[in-house]
Amino acid sequence: MKTQIATEKAPGAIGPYSQAIDCGPFVYASGQIPLNPVTGEIPEGIQAQTRQSLANVKAIMEAAGLSMKNIVKTTVFLADMADFVPMNEVYAEAFEAPYPARSAVAVRTLPKNVLVEIEVIAVKEL
């Protein structure tokens, strides 16, 4: 059985997808771009965009009754791999050891031409 997770504290889904799906022991969150859910603005620069994307992820985890500690896997999509180091500096602030497994890939473009998008998988019980 799967249950939709939605919160106004993260950008709403603008297509045929959910912010996140609760499915048994796991929560699968859709990729979060750095769109401020209150203002609709996108901050400038990779570090500010990473921080906002992670804030959106955190809001979704909280809506699921979880925290960033429950995240076991992340995928980071970058518009430019040259942004990896500054993204990683902000990313490191959001997690504690043991860190989630992670993939980081460069893609041609991202929605709204943002610099970063982050998706996560979380487990309910650690």
Mean confidence (pLDDT) of the chain: 97
**Residue 126 clears pLDDT 80, i.e. is over it:** no
Q: Is the dihedral of CA 111, 31, 45, 85 positive or negative?
A: negative
Mean pLDDT of 20-30: 97
- Look up the pTM and report it: 0.96
